[in-house]
Amino acid sequence: MAQPAVVLPMTRSPIRSDTPPPLVTPAFGLDRLLRIAAARSASTLYLSSQARPSVRVDGEIQMLEGEPLLGPNEVESLLLTLVPERNHEALRTGVATEWISDLDGVGRVRCMSFRDHRGPGGVFRMMPVRAVSSEQLGLSRQIQSLAMEPEGLVLIAGPRQSGKRTLISAFVDLINRTRSDRVITIESEINVMHERGTSSVSQREVRGSDDEVLVVVRAALREDPDVLVVESLRTAALISVAIEAAASGQLVIGGFPSHTATDAIDRIINLYPPEHRRQVQLALAENLRGVVAQVLLLKSGGGGRLAAREVLLNTPAVASVIAEGRTSQLPMAIEGGRMHGMAPLNDALVGLVQSGAVDVREAYRHAADRTGFLELLKRQGIDTSVLERLA
């Protein structure tokens, strides 16, 4: 015989305390903090219980000096000033929830609430009003030409917080202004909305697992787009689908987490078991059009960040190196491909140091080949003594 169900008494919310949260006056409201964040060109505002509000500016976290320490009730009260009614229950029970708000003078903000061991908190990401253009990013003619390829695979590489999303968005913007094509983007977060230009751009947000991303990518390809953009090609299955699409006549632009172009090619090949790597090498040699690897560096004296980019183009010499698995020779192929528009990362880093835009220590920190970076500095007559003490 089945046992009777046990009914447990409902407990109080993990967020709410016995004392109702205090009212937050407009002077200390969340909209004021968001305006401060926007005025500082912050990408994100953070609220945490038992902490001062903080912002991320140029990739670094900064506490908002002069702001009070926020208790759990104060954080909850701030969140309630912005959270839609449909999200109140999630906020009350401590379940992570997400919504988008539009604020005059700030723009669109992607809002997320959470609860940790100290209490409720929130993360507020500023969403750009429009895409940063290729001209604003100072993309070279060779990089821009990759967006004009009728078919093939283009990789946008870089470590975390390197601006890959911004660069990919600039590619979509360029295509949307210069081509008349059907473009589908697969993104983990739609932060930039691409309005209708000369192309038709359909953006899909996928927040699930790699398998779910793969299902959405395959479904998108059944719509026969001219251009497919995948924010992160991080698995062998996704890479395989991207290469197949590129081989079938579509332009595929994909992000990949790696520091350099050579590292991107090596890591993609190594995603596969040894018995399949030869096939992948040949497929990449035939269908790859180029790799743009980017890092972001703090400007000297502060005031923003600058990009240093490495460019690998799939010339016959590069294709031969990839097909034969001699990827260790790719850096030399890039060095020898300057006449074709290729650019080693060290060239870009030294150029920023020479112009005074970036401190030599900041450039050294982002150099993948630090020995080669030091040698290039010396050849350019730049003092390396401060770096030799770090090496």
pLDDT at 390: 66
Structure token pair of residue 252: 């595929």
pLDDT at 171: 97
pLDDT at 247: 97
Pair 195, 291 in one domain: yes
Tell me whether residue 10 is in a domain: no
pLDDT at 20: 40
Contact 340, 306 (CB under 8 A): no
Whole-number Å distance between alpha carbons of 135 and 113: 36
Tell me whether residue 208 is in a domain: yes
| Helix, strand or coil, per DSSP, at residue 112 | strand
Distance of CA 162 to the CA centre of its chain: 7
Whole-number Å distance between alpha carbons of 112 and 132: 24
Whole-number Å distance between alpha carbons of 249 and 235: 22
- 210-221 vs 236-247: helix axis angle to the nearest 10? 10
Pair 311, 176 in one domain: yes
Whole-number Å distance between alpha carbons of 318 and 304: 35
The CATH number given to whatever domain includes residue 113 is: 3.30.450.90
Pair 76, 183 in one domain: no
Query: Could you give phi then psi for residue 273, rounded to 5 degrees?
Result: -65, 155
Whole-number Å distance between alpha carbons of 305 and 357: 10
Pair 41, 104 in one domain: yes
Tell me whether residue 7 is in a domain: no
pLDDT at 207: 85
| Helix, strand or coil, per DSSP, at residue 126 | strand
Non-local (6+) Cβ contacts of 285 within 8 A are 314, 319, 320, 322, 323
Domain boundary among 105, 127, 149: 127
Inter-CA distances, 328 with 133, 153, 298, 332, Å: 34, 21, 30, 8
Pair 106, 65 in one domain: yes
Domain boundary among 107, 127, 147: 127
> Which pLDDT tens digits describe the chain residue by residue (391 residues)?
444 443 333 333 333 333 344 433 333 588 899 999 999 989 999 999 999 999 999 888 999 988 999 999 999 999 988 888 888 888 888 888 888 888 887 888 999 999 999 999 999 998 887 888 999 999 999 999 999 999 999 999 999 888 999 999 999 999 999 999 999 999 998 888 898 899 999 999 998 899 999 999 999 999 999 999 999 999 999 999 999 999 999 999 999 999 999 999 999 999 999 999 999 999 999 999 999 999 999 999 777 899 999 999 999 999 999 999 999 999 999 999 999 999 999 999 999 999 999 999 999 999 999 999 999 999 998 888 888 776 5
pLDDT at 365: 93
pLDDT at 7: 36
Contact 85, 67 (CB under 8 A): no
Q: What is the full DSSP assignment across 212-274?
A: HHHHHHHHHHTT--SEEEES---SHHHHHHHHHHHHTT-EEEEEEE-SSHHHHHHHHHHTS-H
Tell me whether residue 173 is in a domain: yes
Pair 217, 298 in one domain: yes
Domain boundary among 127, 161, 176: 127
Pair 285, 177 in one domain: yes
Inter-CA distances, 157 with 102, 152, 227, 240, Å: 31, 16, 18, 17
Whole-number Å distance between alpha carbons of 328 and 261: 11
Q: Which has the closest alpha carbon to 41: 114, 106, 118? A: 106
**Counting beta carbons within 10 angstroms of the beta carbon of residue 108, is it exposed (0 to 12), middle (13 to 18) or buried (19 or more)?**
middle
Residue carrying structure tokens 């967020």: 15
Q: Please state the domain count of the chain.
A: 3
Range of the structural domain that residue 164 is part of = 134-341
Radius of gyration of the chain (CA): 24
Tell me whether residue 182 is in a domain: yes
Structure token pair of residue 315: 């010339």
